[in-house]
Structure 1
Amino acid sequence: MPKGYWVSVYGAVSDPERLRAYDRLAGPAVRAGGGRLLSRGGRVVAHEAGTTQRVILIEFDSFEQAVAAYESEAYRKALVVLAGAVERDFRIIEGID
């Protein structure tokens, strides 16, 4: 079964304190949903139209698990805190089996 991934690229952070509050809520919610943080804002070498902003990569055992974690009540509470604090491109993608 293919794994699932959350991929987030932060284009702008207008409220760093709310982002930190989101991180405090989102971390436990992601772990409870079976997610494993693979990358969090580390070094980036961008090519073509790539960007060097903060990139987050989280792995789940399946695509369905990744979707369920996003839709969980715990993660929804984290999203309320994040609203309006950042501009981000967030995607849930299916890996290759």
Structure 2
Amino acid sequence: MKAYWIAHVDIADAERYSQYTQRAPKAFAEFGAKFLARGGRSEAMEGRSTPPRSVVIEFESYEQAVACYHSAAYQEAKSYREEWATAEIIIVEGIAPI
């Protein structure tokens, strides 16, 4: 079954955050990630207010999604994000096709 990263990001410094966005694609490519939503318009219908940036990334399996997060390439990219942005990232397994 497919799996998805769902990320909500608050960016404090867009210029410095770009150091993360320049490095992270290497990890995503290595694990066959497909972006389904990245930035763009969003609106909170219930719950907490919408963060400035929401991202949904598809992986072929839960294991690939977790491995991508823990990979050396992603952890290196993440180190450039942590000082300039706050992120909430969850990995969720999709449902079996009917």
**Consecutive unaligned residues in structure 1, runs of 5 or more:** none
Shift of 1:45: 2.8
Please, which moves more after superposition, 62-71 or 42-51?
42-51
Scaled by the length of structure 1, the TM-score of the pair is 0.89
SS at match of 1:75: helix
Scaled by the length of structure 2, the TM-score of the pair is 0.88
Mapping for residues 27-42 of structure 1, pairs under 5 Å? 27-42=25-40
SS at match of 1:65: helix
Matched, 1:19 2:17: yes
What residue identity is the alignment partner of 1:27? P
Shift of 1:18: 2.2
State the 4+ residue runs in structure 1 displaced beyond 4 angstroms: none
- The CA RMSD over aligned residues, in Å, is 1.3
Instruction: Quote the Cα distance in structure 2 between the aligned partners of 1:86 and 1:52.
Output: 11
Q: Confirm or deny: 8 A CA contact 1:45 1:52 kept in the other structure.
A: no
Instruction: Quote the Cα distance in structure 1 between the aligned partners of 2:11 and 2:54.
Output: 12
Instruction: Quote the Cα distance in structure 2 between the aligned partners of 1:87 and 1:60.
Output: 23
Instruction: Quote the Cα distance in structure 2 between the aligned partners of 1:87 and 1:54.
Output: 10
